């Protein structure tokens, strides 16, 4: 058995303690835990001295997987969870689950196979599989539906927050939530009552009592599935809960296993799993041994002329830090304080913030009208044009200094790029690794994902946005219409097509950005810019804006035809798939360039930025993930063909990986 798993016998009742979240690397039911549970079942179910069995969690509670798929797969000769659940369900003697902590995944599958379930009042039951493009497996979804009914089972699987112990009790998922003592003691008492015949388990098929009502409740759920990648997941879950009603138990379990396998092999689940792993990887900055620094406690932080500094200050104050807002302009400083006060007052009025907490926040909020006012702080984030020598002199030794949007920070400082909840930290050298770890810990503590950037003219997101546009424009010059390209990329999850975006930000700003980032603006963008057709503000760009909805700009087809004639390009229609393949290939090509030059340090970071900041659908998993799936040799050939149309030729990294049988995913190690 695993180190924290143990078996205890008392008055004919055996209690098996599963290793909890503190005792398992990676969480969930790993192979060693499955073997331990199988051994415990061998010992207890065959021993006549054991008349009942209680399963309980240790430490933080029942094991919770960080990847809801891996604990359902057969690994290293260990029994799968469906087989373990079946043994529990067919035990021939009372088996009880004493639940605590968070219960999901394999823990839920095993608990549902027990005859009774009791839970500590603080227990929370949830299913994370839907968010990963999967369904609860190991018999969990079938047993949920059989016990609660199909509609109730789906309410749990689609809930983003899960159920409290009280909610699960009302729904019929739990048999008791003792509030007058430990759940273990209540489980032992219930086991003795079951042995005495004074406690009877609720039928495990109670939810199937009224088949017509069961199916009637499913009908509106099916009717509301809609479209999109997740619709197929929810449709599959509907099929499984319907099978739970219409098929015998074993056949329904087989149906669930097949449905799970189909979803697990689908691009959606693969992409979602990859992005989830990419997010987990950001717990450490690539290449920085000191990147997982634990903060000693609240810090004293300074924000010097930081755009949106009031919003950042609010987050830092809520996390318990002290914050000094700084600016030489007293009016802008007053505006920042007013913004903080306005948000906090609204939170107090809404009941989301205690007045005492607001006063405590204000006690930790200070102001500085010159750099000297930042003296003695632990960490300062300053505008990029702040003289680093003057900043260091004012703050003092030992402080972490970060300059916004600085691509090549001087020694002793860090560069920082902020884009929503994605942050890039740029290190001038390995000596700043510890400082980077502290800055990353602060940013993660207020809900940000942090990746390591590099010495390049812009952020990873900037480079991907630029590549997205030039790749889209090459599709147009090859023969596609702008609207066709926007629609094709919309099918990849982009909420805003590149030409809609170009018109929104203005072609003047777009052209300047492309040049700053080392990309050559396309002939169509340059023509429209020269003609003053600069986008939405001008009333016309790639689209015309004289109505409620933008429409294709008049005369643009003729302009594109002339450009093609001038450049010797022969136009041909492009299918949606061809457009998507070309654009994803160029994004992967840019990603490879960033990896080779050090502008990015993990392929998974590029994928994460593509999804979280650029807008590629999470189900796609990112351009580097797609390159690995589609095959590097094929993508390299596509890039070589696109290079003849003006795209960047594939960098040497492609050849190195192909020659060594490697993938971009192999570049994700710290």
pLDDT at 180: 86
Domain 300-452 CATH class label: alpha beta
pLDDT band for position 21 (50/70/90)?
A: very low
Q: Do domains 300-452 and 460-599+631-667 have the same CATH topology?
A: no
Distance CA 417, CA 404 (A): 6
CB atoms within 10 A of CB 26: 12
Distance CA 200, CA 218 (A): 30
Q: Which of 99, 157, 152 lies closest to 131, judged by CA?
A: 157
Lookup result for tokens 């539906």:
145
Q: Are 666 and 605 in contact (CB under 8 A)?
A: no
Q: Are strands 551-552 and 543-544 parallel, antiparallel or unpaired?
A: antiparallel
For the cut 90, the answer to whether the pLDDT of residue 473 exceeds it is: yes
Distance CA 299, CA 200 (A): 56
For the cut 60, the answer to whether the pLDDT of residue 1 exceeds it is: no
pLDDT in tens, 571-592: 889 999 999 999 999 999 999 9
Residue 614: DSSP 8-state: I
For the cut 80, the answer to whether the pLDDT of residue 646 exceeds it is: yes
Torsion of CA 306, 310, 313, 314, to 10 degrees: -160
User: What ranges in 383-459 are assigned the alpha helix state H?
Assistant: 388-395, 433-445
Mean pLDDT of 634-661: 96
Distance CA 2, CA 23 (A): 9
pLDDT in tens, 45-92: 999 999 999 999 887 688 877 776 667 766 667 788 899 999 999 999
pLDDT in tens, 87-128: 999 999 999 999 999 999 999 999 999 999 999 999 999 998
pLDDT in tens, 382-428: 999 999 999 999 999 999 999 999 989 999 999 999 988 899 999 99
Q: What share of the chain is helix, strand, coil (3-state, %, to 5)?
A: 50, 10, 35
Q: Is 225 helix (H, G, I), strand (E, B) or coil?
A: coil
pLDDT in tens, 129-168: 999 999 999 999 999 999 999 999 999 999 999 999 999 9
Q: Which of 217, 232, 57, 210 lies closest to 152, judged by CA?
A: 217
Q: Is 522 helix (H, G, I), strand (E, B) or coil?
A: coil
pLDDT at 289: 61
pLDDT band for position 22 (50/70/90)?
A: very low
CA atoms within 13 A on the CB side of 557: 7
pLDDT in tens, 229-278: 889 999 999 999 999 999 999 999 999 999 999 999 998 999 999 999 99
pLDDT at 540: 93
Percent of the chain with pLDDT over 70: 95
CB atoms within 10 A of CB 395: 23
Mean pLDDT of 521-545: 94
Distance CA 222, CA 232 (A): 11
pLDDT at 25: 39
What is 460-599+631-667's CATH topology? 1.10.1040
Q: Is 256 helix (H, G, I), strand (E, B) or coil?
A: helix
For the cut 60, the answer to whether the pLDDT of residue 4 exceeds it is: no
Lookup result for tokens 């929810």:
234
Q: Which of 38, 1, 4 lies closest to 22, judged by CA?
A: 4
pLDDT at 27: 61
**Least confident span in 61-75, 334-348, 503-517:** 61-75
Give the H/E segment covering residue 469: helix 460-478
What sign results for the dihedral spanned by CA atoms 248, 250, 252, 254? negative
First to last CA, the chain: 32
For the cut 70, the answer to whether the pLDDT of residue 23 exceeds it is: no
Strand partners, 94: none
Distance CA 112, CA 501 (A): 49
Q: Is 264 helix (H, G, I), strand (E, B) or coil?
A: helix
Domain 6-264 CATH class label: alpha beta
pLDDT at 378: 96
CA distances from 371 to 387, 412, 417, 436 (A): 10, 17, 21, 22
pLDDT at 73: 66
pLDDT at 125: 95
pLDDT at 68: 67
For the cut 90, the answer to whether the pLDDT of residue 26 exceeds it is: no
pLDDT band for position 2 (50/70/90)?
A: very low
Angle between helices 482-490 and 576-597 (to 10 degrees): 70
**Which is higher by pLDDT, 524 or 3?**
524
Q: Are 550 and 543 in contact (CB under 8 A)?
A: yes
Mean pLDDT of 485-496: 94
Environment class of 536 (CB within 10 Å of its CB; exposed 0-12, middle 13-18, buried 19+): middle
pLDDT at 295: 83
Q: Is 310 helix (H, G, I), strand (E, B) or coil?
A: helix
For the cut 70, the answer to whether the pLDDT of residue 437 exceeds it is: yes
What sign results for the dihedral spanned by CA atoms 60, 66, 69, 75? negative
Q: Hey, where are the domains in the chain?
A: 6-264, 300-452, 460-599+631-667
């Amino acid at each position: 058995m695993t180190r924290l798993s143990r078996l205890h016998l008392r008055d004919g009742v055996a209690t098996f303690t599963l290793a909890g979240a503190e005792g398992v690397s990676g969480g969930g039911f790993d192979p060693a835990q499955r073997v331990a549970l199988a051994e415990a079942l061998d010992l207890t179910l065959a021993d006549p001295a054991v008349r009942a069995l209680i399963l309980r969690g240790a430490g933080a509670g029942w094991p919770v997987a960080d990847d809801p798929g891996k604990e359902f797969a057969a690994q290293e000769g260990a029994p799968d969870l469906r087989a373990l659940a079946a043994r529990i369900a067919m035990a021939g003697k009372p088996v009880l689950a004493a639940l605590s902590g968070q219960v999901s995944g394999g823990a839920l599958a095993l608990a549902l196979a027990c005859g009774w379930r009791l839970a500590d009042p603080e227990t929370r039951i949830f299913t994370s599989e839907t968010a990963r493009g999967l369904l609860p497996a190991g018999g969990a979804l079938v047993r949920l539906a059989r016990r609660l009914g199909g509609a109730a089972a789906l309410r749990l699987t689609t809930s983003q927050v899960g159920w409290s112990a009280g909610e699960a009790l009302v729904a019929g998922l739990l048999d008791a939530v003792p509030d007058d003592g430990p759940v273990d003691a209540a489980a032992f008492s219930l086991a003795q009552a079951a042995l005495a015949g004074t406690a009877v388990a609720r039928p495990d098929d109670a939810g199937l009592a009224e088949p017509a009502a069961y199916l009637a409740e499913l009908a509106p759920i099916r009717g509301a599935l809609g479209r999109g990648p997740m619709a197929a997941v929810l449709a599959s879950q509907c099929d499984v809960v319907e099978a739970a009603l219409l098929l015998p138990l074993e056949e329904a379990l087989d149906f669930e296993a097949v449905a799970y396998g189909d979803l697990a092999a689908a691009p959606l689940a693969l992409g979602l799993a990859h992005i989830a792993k990419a997010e987990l990887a950001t717990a450490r900055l690539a290449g920085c041994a000191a990147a997982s620094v634990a903060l000693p406690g609240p810090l004293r932080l300074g924000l010097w002329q930081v755009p949106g500094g009031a919003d950042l200050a609010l987050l830092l104050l809520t996390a318990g830090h002290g914050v000094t807002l700084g600016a030489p302009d007293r009016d802008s400083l007053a505006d920042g304080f007013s913004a903080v006060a306005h948000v906090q007052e609204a939170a107090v009025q809404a009941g989301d913030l205690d007045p005492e907490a607001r006063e405590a926040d204000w006690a930790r909020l200070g102001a500085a009208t010159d750099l000297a006012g930042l003296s003695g702080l632990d960490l300062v984030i300053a505008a990029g044009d702040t003289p680093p020598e003057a900043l260091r002199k004012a703050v003092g030794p030992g402080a972490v200094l970060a300059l916004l949007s600085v691509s090549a920070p001087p020694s002793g400082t860090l560069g920082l790029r902020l884009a929503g909840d994605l942050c890039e930290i740029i290190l001038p050298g390995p000596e700043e690794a510890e400082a980077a770890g502290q800055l990353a810990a602060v940013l993660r503590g207020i809900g940000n994902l942090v990746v390591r950037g590099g010495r390049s003219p812009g952020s990873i997101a900037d480079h991907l946005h630029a590549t997205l546009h030039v790749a889209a424009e090459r599709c147009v010059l090859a023969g596609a219409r702008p609207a066709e390209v926007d629609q094709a990329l919309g099918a990849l999850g982009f909420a805003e097509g590149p030409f809609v975006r170009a018109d929104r930000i203005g072609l003047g700003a777009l052209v300047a950005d492309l040049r700053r980032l080392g990309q050559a603006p396309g002939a169509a963008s340059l023509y429209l810019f020269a003609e003053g057709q600069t986008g939405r503000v001008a009333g016309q760009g790639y689209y015309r804006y004289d109505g409620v909805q933008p429409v294709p700009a008049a005369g643009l087809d003729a302009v594109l035809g002339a450009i093609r004639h001038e450049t010797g390009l022969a136009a041909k229609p492009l299918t949606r798939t061809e457009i998507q393949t070309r654009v994803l290939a160029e994004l992967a090509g840019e990603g490879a360039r960033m990896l080779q030059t050090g502008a990015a340090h993990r392929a998974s970071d590029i994928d994460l930025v593509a999804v979280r900041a650029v807008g590629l659908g999470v189900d796609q998993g990112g351009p580097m993930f797609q390159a690995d799936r589609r095959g590097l040799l094929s993508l390299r050939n596509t890039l070589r063909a696109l290079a003849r149309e003006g795209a960047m030729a594939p960098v040497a990294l492609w050849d190195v990986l192909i020659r060594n049988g490697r993938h971009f995913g192999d570049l994700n190690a710290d």
